[in-house]
Every structure is written in C-alpha cells, then in structure tokens.
Structure 1
Amino acid sequence: MSKREVICKAIAALYKEGAELAVAFQKNEEQQFQYDYQRWYSKSLKVIETLASDRYPEFRGYYEIDPKRKSLGYATYVIQDYLKNVIPNKYDYPNFDARSQVLKCFFNQITILHSIEERVDSVLGDMAGELYAEFQDDEVAVARQLAKISARAAGALAGVLIEGHLQKVAQAHSIKIAKKNPTIADLNDPLKTASVIDVPVWRKISYLADLRNLCSHKKDLEPTKDQVEELIQGAEWLTKNVF
C-alpha cells in the first residue's frame, strides 16, 4: 500500500468515525460522547495540522473557547462549552439549544476533514520537495566542511549534487536523457535545447562541469580552494534557481 493510500484510508476512517459519532449524538446517545469526541478530535487535529494548515485555526475554533471572547451566544458557543456544561444566560437566550450548536460545530469539523483528502497528492509533493531541499542544503554544508580537509573530495561531492539536481530537473520536464549515468554535460545540453535553461545558465553549468572534472578526473592537477568554493557556490545557486 502506497503512502497516499495509507493517508487516504486514515482520513476516511476518521471521517466515518466522526459521522457515526455525530449521528449517535443527534439521537441522544451521548453517554460516551465526551470521551469518544475528545479521542476523535485529538487524532483529527493532527491530520488537519499536517495536511491543511490553512484550515487548522478554523478547525480548532469550532472546539476551543476563544480566550478573547467577550460574550457567550450563538456566534461564540463552541464544543468545549458543552463539554464543560456551560450555556448562555437563559434570560438572554431562553430558547438556546446547546446540542444543536454542538452539532453545527461538529459537522463543520467533519466537513473540513473530509475535504482534505483531495489535497493529499499536492501535500505529499510539497513535503517531498521540502525534504529534498533540506537534503541539498545539508550536502552543500558537508562539502564546505570537507573542503577544509580535501578540496578535491569537496569538489567531487558538489559535482554529484549538481548531477543529481539536473537529473531531477530533466525528469520534471519529461526530458529523456540517452545515457544511463549522464554527466553534467550530458544533462546540460538537453536542458538548453528544451529551453528549460537559457544560454547564460548553460554556460555557467558548463563551467561548473569543467571544475567538477578537474576535481574528479585530472589527478595531475590539483584544484585550488577558490575553484572548489566556486563549484560549491555554483551547486548551491543551481539547486535554488533552476527547476
């Protein structure tokens, strides 16, 4: 089962659990409501925070009492009030139905939960992108530390980072690369031909490829610290500007 399927299955289970709990509450079967709702809310809150952070404050707002609340009535009554056995002043609200207000809040939460299933693909994509970006930043940091010990090794690492990133760029644009293990040059030309990069960027990458070759192949000529730092800076620039 894929990660997407696992997440969608979990959301569907929470949605079903919430819907059944709401129906039971609507039928006055509320003996377990406080316990069951709190359990459902805790699990659902984490899902909303992870997959729909823009809806997170709204989701919490249907349950939690606003600390800045100045009055208690139809517009400000939340589920937490009901669980604490709090109701508005009967003089001001003689016909106030706390159960009805709880159901409105609960149904809104269930609806928000149900709606985020459509976001799973985009959220997983964003998470993967963020993790990959963090990985690239870590690799750049490692290359800089390695440069203090071996300029050649640091340059080789930066070259690997450039190759890997260009391969991802080519895949993202559905560009087929003939070689199974392409070099920077093998990737650079097809990206220019497909207009993914312009001539100035192509030239910059070509120069970085020359520096990489100096670090990885020309054993009779040692790369300078400045050349390696230029290669590392180029790798860092490339990963943040070419997509």
Structure 2
Amino acid sequence: MFTPHAELDALLADFVRSARDILGGSYVGAYLQGSFALGAGDRHSDCDFVIATTTQPAGAAEAGLRALHDEIPTRAGSWAGELEGSYADVTSLRTVAGLGVPWLYCDHGHRVLIRDTHCNTPHTRWILRNRGITLDGPPVASLVDEVPPEALRAEMRAALPTVLTDVARWAPADVAWTQRYIVTTCCRILYTLHTAQVASKRAALEWALDALHPDWRPLLTQVAGDRELGWDPAQRPRPGSMALTRRFAAYARAWAV
C-alpha cells in the first residue's frame, strides 16, 4: 500500500506500469511527493508524482505520455483527475544546479502536458529527498541530493510578499477555499523559514497555532476546521474572514523579517 486509498493505489500501479512501458530504457523510477509523502494526503489532496528518466522524454516517448495523460482523467473514479507531477531527468534532478529546469508536467485535472518548473523547486525537491515514497525503482534519496537550508529559506522569502497577488491570479477571492488556502500557505512559508523543512498543510497550521501570536488562533482554528469542506465554488468565505486573512498575510510578512 502506497496511500490509505485502495482506489488510488490501483490507479498509481497502472499509471507507473504504463509510463514504464512507454519510456522503455529511459525509465528510472517513480515516486510520490507532496501531501501523501508528508503523511497528510486525504480525499481533498492532489496526488503528486515524479517519474525519473535518464533524459527528458521526446519523440515517440513524449507522444505516448501525452496520450496517456489525455486518457487518464476520462477514467471512472474520484482519483483519475487528481494525478499531478513531472518527468524529471536524473541530471537536473540530482543537484541544486538543476533547480528551475522545466520538466514535462501534468497539472491535476488537466489532459495536456506542458513544460514547467512546478515540481522543480527547493521545497518540492526537499519533500522528494526526505519524505518521498518509492513506487518503483531505486530509493529516491539515491537520485536527489540534500537541499541546502538557505535555498529553501530563499524560496520562501521570495514567495511571502506576493502570496495574495499570486493566489489572485488563479483562485477566485469569493470562494471559501481560497481564504483557507492563503492562510495555510502563509503558515507553510513561515514554518519553512523557521525550520528549513517542509510541512503538510495540517502540520503547518498546528505549528502556527503554537508559534504565532495568540490573536490569530481563532483564524487558524477556523481554517483547520473548515479544511474538510474541500473545494466548493459556491461556498463563500465566512463573513469578515477574507479581510482578516489579508491582515494575517501582512502579519506573516512582518513576522518573517
């Protein structure tokens, strides 16, 4: 068992088998990162994967992967649209010199692969190296070097000032999920700045309840409690919660200085 969900495990086993067949001799191994690797994956989580290859997929292999990812979201079951991840060549995967190299990437719920840096950042690399789950292939730590603490902290320092504007580019402000996401993201950033490690959303909120000023406990408790509501585009933020969330983002910026 790779996850607590038998249906997801069956999907992953079939997915890895298909990707291995398509990639042939360039296939190295398949791994989980993200929420499931951090031990916090639940029914609201994406399932984040990285498939390691000797070289970036091209030609017939790339075409085969594109066909596979076009087909998977059409399958029955709640997890078919939740796979998200990249195909990482082992050269750029290994060292910090390869951070930011675009990989062939599938966003969850999407059917078209793009080349993107989404999975090739210090925090995703940290999860993979330290918490990654091996689905198939050699141990993931044999493929990924340690991420220097300052690389993680630098990424978080750069992200914190623009959390609100970055989220506004893709998440509607009048949806309750967005309010929770902003608060949780700020907590995860502060946790990494403090520890040079990466925590799940739930763990970051628990840390923040103890580490941050007590005035923020009602907001943090609300966000933690409402997580089970998941994504509902018709659900509006609690009255006053978005304004409070903006103030919390400003507090987080000041706390991090």
Q: TM-score, normalised by structure 2?
A: 0.32
Compare the two structures and name the one with the higher helix fraction: 1
Compare the two structures and name the one with the higher strand fraction: 2
Q: TM-score, normalised by structure 1?
A: 0.33
